[in-house]
Amino acid sequence: MSRFDQKICLVTGGASGIGRATCEALGARGAHVVVTDIDEAAGCDAAAAVGGEFAHLDVSDRDAWRSVVQGIVAAHGGLDLVHLNAGVTTYPAAGGGFPAVDIAAIPADVYRRTMSVNVDGVVFGVGATVQALENRGGGAIVVTASVAGLGTWEVDPLYTMTKHAVVGLVRSLAPSLAQRGITLNAICPAAVDTKIFGPEAEDFVRETGLRLMPPSQVADAVIEAAAGGETGQCWVCYDGHDPKLYIPAPLPGLDD
């Protein structure tokens, strides 16, 4: 029997790409998966494929988070695993044509949307689910950040900023959640073969020779991070390799 058998798992952005692959990996291990997304049709399809349930959830909406989690607690008592995965880039509105970025020209609504999905979605998601995780004796939260959260990615600086924010949250919040029996880790993939890359970006990725990994590889890393018992860690994933633990450099004068 798998350690995920009968576990109650919630995945955001579960209708596509990495989120869908995680739903499939969890479903294959016997988990009950609550697939959430704003894309109802694809979300219902993903839920049906894993024998789970679908809940419409815009991760940037705090009230929606409360109501979805209340429904899960009423039906199942709580949660065991939360994968905060939904995310967007600023394309195709970055201005100047991909991959040029004109910071002054980025429409305010694109900026707000990127911040609200990638940052609010994680903050609200952690806040809304910790009690439900505690209800079932503790559990795991895994956030999909990015290698852009650890380094630089000049083709989308705003996206990069949001992923740095998420990494900072994971590393700083993990110790207090540990006292409640909850682990909090980030998966930081390089390029993954999903629809987040629109057609323009796909050409760019092809030209740069980046090797796209299948979403299932990231899903396996999510499962490992959730099951591994470590917390506050970032795991770097790139094509064809096991997830690698990110070791931050010591702060000069403070850590040495």
Ligand X SMILES: NC(=O)c1ccc[n+]([C@@H]2O[C@H](COP(=O)([O-])OP(=O)(O)OC[C@H]3O[C@@H](n4cnc5c(N)ncnc54)[C@H](O)[C@@H]3O)[C@@H](O)[C@H]2O)c1
Residues that bind ligand X in the complex, under the rule CB under 6 A: 12-13, 15-19, 37-39, 57-60, 85-88, 117, 144, 146, 189, 191-192, 194-196
CB atoms within 10 A of CB 33: 29
Token reading at 192:
């993954």
Name the residue nearer to ligand X (CB basis): 98 or 176: 98
What residues contact 90, with CB distance under 8 A and at least 6 apart?
101, 106, 110, 111, 114, 156, 158, 159
Residue 94 has, within 13 A of its CA and on its CB side, a CA count of 20
Paired residues of 83 in beta bridges: 11, 142
Looking at beta carbons only, is 192 or 221 nearer to ligand X? 192
Answer for the pair 41, 30: CB distance below 8 angstroms, yes or no. Answer: no
Nearer to ligand X, 58 or 134 (CB): 58
Show Cβ contacts of residue 202 under 8 Å, excluding neighbours closer than 6 positions: none
Please list, in sequence order, all residues whose beta carbon lies within 8 angstroms of the beta carbon of residue 104, skipping any fewer than 6 positions away: none
Whichever of 39 and 134 has its CB closer to ligand X, that residue is 39
Q: How far apart are CA 188 and CA 243, in angstroms?
A: 9
- Please give the single-letter amino acid code of residue 123: V
> How far is residue 75 from each of residues 8, 71, 132, 166, measured CA to CA in Å?
10, 6, 12, 30
Two structure tokens written together for 28: 């294959």
